[in-house]
Every structure is written in C-alpha cells, then in structure tokens.
Homo-oligomer: A and B are copies of this chain.
C-alpha cells in the first residue's frame, strides 16, 4: 500500500482540475460503497487517492459533507439515468431493463446506497434527502410515461410510487442479507410484483385497467407476464 501511495505521489501534478475533482469523487464513492459515510474520513479519501489532505480541502473546502454531497449528486444522476429506456416494445421488457440497471447500481454502491436511503446517516441533511426524493420522483415519472399515464391517474400514480418504495426496501434487505438471492432472481421477483401491483390496481380502477389492457396486448404469448399468470393461477385455485 505504501509503495503504491509513494508511486502515485507524482500523479499529484499530472491531473487537470476537472480530472482531479472527478478522481476524488470517484475515490469517495468507492469508499462510501464499502462502509457507512460516518466511517469514511477525508484522510481515507486522501490516502486512497494518493494525495494530501490539504489538496482534498482545496477542491472541497466544505470538507467531507461537501465531498459526500458531490458524490451523491453524481450517483443520483446515474440512478436517474437507469430509468431512461426507449419507449418501444413490450412494457415488461422496458421495466425489466430499467430494473436491471437499478439493481446493478445497488450492487455497485452497496453501503452508500443503504446510508442514502436510510437517511439516518450523520451526513444526511435536508439537502441530501431532497436529492434522493428527486431521484424517486424522476423514476416514478419515467415509469408513468412508459405506461402512457400522468399524475391525473391518481390510483396508478399511487401504485407506481408504492412499487418504487418496495423496490428500494427489497434492495436494502438484499444488501442486508449478503446479496441473496441472485440479482436475476431479485429482478424477476420485483418484476412479478410490478405486474401484479398494476393488475390489482387495474382490478379496482377503470383508467388503470384501460392502460393495462393496451400494454398487455403487446406482451408476447409465453413471455414474462403470461408465465407469471400461469405460475400463480394454481395457488389461487387452491381456495376451497
């Protein structure tokens, strides 16, 4: 480790301002992914980046809080982009792609994601909460757009918001359980939940039912939705 830090010393001068800033943020992100924010110090970031503590302060005069918020903003932008998916093809495929990206983010950011969502962290402020809320709002808006709906579809809007929270909760539990089950299993299970929460909402709300019928009509026979219906029907058939 020491050898490595000594070797990276000369790099001190070689990076431009923007590159150095990006490097410090990337270093901070990787540390925040491994341990809770309160267990990461500016010294850790400086050591890991192979630079001096004063240099880190030159870039982030607000210290750890500022570095944390910068790392969070970049992570938030990345998380928001997970839901950007072309508006073509069956809905289940689009949502499944978005979910894959979201879960890959959770996998990569680990502890940082947990600290972020739990909000109980010492570096959690109304500013960091606002960043997280904005990501959540954006994810919901993007899913609503895929469904061809807007916030006037109040029941559907409530359903999508509830499902997004379920995804967050499941992600936290998944991290807490040592990343069990596999990402693919987790994705499939969350997709099943998405389809059924939409179905039960459509079962009680005409506007949602109409949007769903349109969406269902382009789902492939034998595809994800069809398989799900076949898989759960026998359980319901067990009603005496």
Q: Hey, which bits of chain A sit against chain B, CB under 8 A?
A: 119-120, 124, 126, 129, 154-155, 158, 161-163, 165-166, 168-170, 173-174, 177, 180-181, 185, 188-189, 192-193, 196-197, 199-204, 209, 212-213, 216-221, 223, 225-226, 228-229, 231-233, 235-240
Question: Given the complex of chains A and B, what is the CA–CA distance between A235 and B120 in angstroms?
Answer: 41
> How many copies of this protein are present in the complex?
2
Residues of B within 8 A of A166 (CB): 162-163, 165-166, 169
Decide: A200 and B232 in contact? CB cutoff 8 A. yes
The listed residue (B119, B201, B239) touching A219 by CB distance below 8 A is B239
Residues of B within 8 A of A173 (CB): 158, 161-162
Interface SS, A side: helix
Q: Quick one: given A154-B180, A165-B165, A177-B154, are A232 and B203 in contact (CB under 8 Å)?
A: yes
Residues of B within 8 A of A154 (CB): 177, 180
Min C-beta distance of A191 to chain B, whole Å:
9
Q: Quick one: given A158-B177, A232-B199, A239-B225, are A188 and B204 in contact (CB under 8 Å)?
A: yes
